Structure 1
Amino acid sequence: MQFQIDNMGCGGCARSITTTIQAHDPAAQVMIDLPAKRVTVTTQADVTAIEQALLQAGFPPQRIA
């Protein structure tokens, strides 16, 4: 799954996003493209659960098809 996260602007944001996702699935692989503000996640977790976690962490995601 891929997300656009427009308010991700620094390495600290990227670490927070990775930590948030891995709290739901410790085995999740998270790839951050900071300049493009995109996050690619390989996980068995439910996409809606990941979206809600990111939203609660202050990083509203937009799902990329």
Structure 2
Amino acid sequence: MQFHIENMTCGACVRRVTAAVHSIDPAAQVTADVGEHRVQVQSAGTQEQLMAVLDEAGYPARPVG
């Protein structure tokens, strides 16, 4: 799943986004592109679960693609 996260602007943001995803799926793979404000997630979690946990962490995400 790929998401656009407008306010993901630095390495610390990427760490927080990754931690949020790992809070629901510790085995998830997260790849971030800060310049494009995009994150690719391979996870057992659903799109809705991931969007909710990212929103709770302060990083509202919208699906891409």
Specify the TM-score bucket, using the shorter chain as the normaliser: over 0.9
1:47 aligns with 2:47: yes
Match of 1:5 in 2: 5
C-alpha RMSD of matched pairs (Å): 0.6
How many residues align structurally? 65
SS in 2 for 1:58: coil
Match of 2:58 in 1: 58
Q: Percent identity?
A: 38
SS in 2 for 1:8: coil
Aligned amino acid, residue 20 of structure 2: T
Misfit runs of 4+, over 2 Å: none
- Gaps in structure 2 of 5+ consecutive residues: none
Shift of 1:46: 1.2
The 1-side partners of 2:37 and 2:47 are apart by 18
- Gaps in structure 1 of 5+ consecutive residues: none
